[in-house]
A and B are shown apart, each in its own frame.
Chain A
Amino acid sequence: MEPIRIDPARALDEALRAQSKLAAGMRTLREVEDVNYGATDKEAIYREDKVVVYRYKGQNKPTAKRPILICYALVNRPYMVDLQDDRSLVKNLLSLGEDVYLIDWGYPDGADRWLTLDDYINGYIRRCVDAVAKHAGVKKINLLGICQGGAFSLCFASLHQDKLQNLITMVTPVDFHTPDNMLSHWTRGMDVDLFVDTLGNVPADLMNWCYLTLKPVRLNQQKYIGMLDILDDKTELENFLRMEKWIFDSPDQAGEAFRQFIKDFYQGNKLVKGGLRIGEREVSLKNITIPVLNIFAEQDHLVPPSASRPLGEHIGTKDYTQLAFKGGHIGIYVSGRAQREVPPAIHQWLNERTR
């Protein structure tokens, strides 16, 4: 039997539909305005250099005893966690009674060229954690690290555990040398010293293109052909554009921090192999004995589940929980399933550990 059974009439109908969508798109694209992001009110409670810590304001006062501080990655903007009204991890956590803070790293420029991981982890994160604890009137807080921010949070917890009550990691790479980790695979032949010495800060466009080449046809072409389907739907189109804005609204990477992150994490895999030093102290996952919730995405092409799962084997805590989410690296924040499953899971897990 022939594998293809496309009726010419149906093919023409497809063409007609696509053409009519294109025609509608001429109108819709003109109607949509610049998309905004950020659904929830927030106030800045701490500033240092380009770093700002925000506290989100919910409809009601938080009922949780301890605040959650979200530590996002350096490589994208953190508003993914509060993208829009119906796609917001923050909003859902607030509605469950959590008290949510977030670190916004800002956009590093030439002045930040020499920031190291020591500056980020023992400097900025430590002072942000102190600021949140002071603002909330508690001694210990809950830290929620996302992606690279999750790796930073693990380092922070190893070095400053006395400041934390619980640790949550989301789509966080731990073992960087699993065979399906394309990003790690590519970086291992690079001379990172030459790279950073030449470029200084690593440009966002270069980072973005690298991510696009992980799935070149899907991300450069198929996605935009899929866009044809929604060209006549203003709301869907705005959602698409909002996501598109987030994907390409990326900060440059501070050169020294990038150098160390690639060398020690991607190339050296020191988070699991040992020998990772942040500042003057060595990081060991065995030092982490507070409760840990590790959430990863089963279809994650940036941080494969195989990179996140090993946390349980290497961490010191006896209270370790793992949650596999059916979705991708971005879907874990913005999909309908994520709205239903992720915030309640975090809330419940924290609730069970409320002292």
Chain B
Amino acid sequence: MATSPDPTRAFEDWQALSRRYWDAWNDATRKAFETSTQATQAEVMPWHEGLEQWSRMFSQSGSQSEIVERLLAGAKSYFSLLQSLAAKSSGADGSLDAKAWTDTLRESFNFPGADAALFDNPLARALREVAGKGAKSIEELSKGAEPWMREAQTLLGMPAFGYLREHQEHYQKFAQAVLDQQQQTNRYNALLARASARAFELFEDKLAERAEPGRQIESVRALYDLWVDAAEDAYAEIALSDEFREVYGALVNAQMRVRKHVQEEVERVATDLGMPTRTEIDSMGRRLHEVRRELKQRDELAAELAELRAEIEKLKGSRAAKSPAKATRSRKS
């Protein structure tokens, strides 16, 4: 690292540069806001607040807002890193060892298992979205089922009997499914945490490789990119393991079982209220599809028959056309 030999001087240099940084950022932000409709909000603010402001500006911009949110999520991590490095760089001698950089990154980055905000559980997040807009997530549905769950949990393991035997058994299975889902989620998160820990090991290895002359890292972006390489390598190691395959499958299956139980409960209520259920609609859809398939086959058969008939007619026509000629020839002979 290029440092001044005088620590006091280095610190002063850093302070001066920092002032330049904030001034430039505020200036850039102010100018941009002055051209926008929200110019009155152009206040002096640190970078984080700047990004928040940025987010607010685009929050109503329809399809772009999601892009902006994704950009900002990344930018926040990146600026966090820049700021953390700045803080570290203002140390007594202005220099850093690899471990200090790793610690900085550990504090600054979001990585599977390390920060719930970004990678709490990708699959769970995906499954929250599966039913589309307006639909309840698994968690919400499970939450809504809490009264049943409390009741069911006390009954778990007990044999069901009597008039409400079927209901009781259903609640027991539902509760077991939710508990299993939680257990599988924990196993999945544990693997992500392991990937996270492994990422730091690989990062340190990769950093060590860069100690060779000519391979040193000279920009924050290069450092960040090296970190991403380490994180992806670590994740791939875990994600391609037999254990991950088993855990991933178990988690997906557990989540599907919970969802299925919820669907069954909804169907039960819908039936009681005399409303059509998904099973009925599926059943009709399937029959309709089979009928359409048969119709298509018949249409194609009919078209084939029509073609054959046309060919036969053509053949008949040509035979009829040939026959008089033959007859004429035979008369002549």
Could you tell me which A residues sit within 8 Å of B by CB distance?
Answer: 1-12, 14-16, 18-20, 22-27, 29-30, 32, 34, 110-111, 113-115, 119, 123, 179-180, 182, 185-186, 188-191, 194-195, 197-200, 203, 205-206, 208-210, 212-218, 220-225, 227-228, 241, 244-245
Contacts and interface: CB of A to CB of B under 8 A. Distances in A.
B245 A198 contact: no
A6 B47 contact: no
B256 A209 contact: no
Given A4-B217, A6-B217, A10-B218, A26 B57 contact: yes
B280 interface: no
A131 B25 CA distance: 60
Contact of B79 (A15, A182, A212): A15
Contacts of A214: 239
16 contacts: A1-B216, A2-B98, A11-B219, A12-B18, A14-B219, A18-B75, A19-B47, A23-B31, A182-B236, A182-B240, A190-B253, A200-B282, A205-B130, A206-B129, A220-B118, A228-B75
Contacts of A115: 289
Nearest to A29: B64
Contact of B25 (A16, A188, A205, A220): A16
Contacts of B118: 220-221
Contact of B82 (A3, A15, A24, A119): A15
Nearest to B293: A119
Interface in B268-294: 278, 281-282, 285-286, 288-290, 293
Contacts, number: 260
A194 B219 contact: no
Contacts of B132: 203, 205
Interface in B295-320: 296
B257 A194 contact: yes
A18 B85 CA distance: 15
Given A12-B21, A191-B253, A225-B75, A1 B211 contact: yes
B6 interface: no
- Chain B at the A interface: SS class: helix
A218 B211 CA distance: 24
A194 B260 contact: yes
A194 B78 CA distance: 41
A179 B237 CA distance: 12
Query: What are the 7 closest A-B residue pairs judged by CB atoms, nearest first?
Result: A189-B249, A209-B126, A224-B74, A23-B28, A3-B210, A114-B289, A205-B129
Contact of A19 (B24, B131, B207, B248): B24
A194 B253 contact: yes
Interface size class of B (residues with CB under 8 A): 35 or more
B122 interface: yes
Contacts of B98: 2-4
Nearest to B214: A1
A224 B71 contact: yes
Nearest to A3: B210
A14 B82 contact: yes
Contacts of B186: none
Contacts of A227: 71, 74
A228 to B, nearest CB: 6
Given A6-B223, A119-B293, A19 B35 contact: no
Contact of A228 (B64, B71, B252, B282): B71
A346 to B, nearest CB: 32
B89 interface: yes
A221 B240 contact: no
B125 interface: yes
A19 B25 contact: yes
Most buried by A among B71, B82, B119: B71
B235 A3 contact: no
Contact of A221 (B14, B74, B219, B253): B74
A216 B235 CA distance: 8
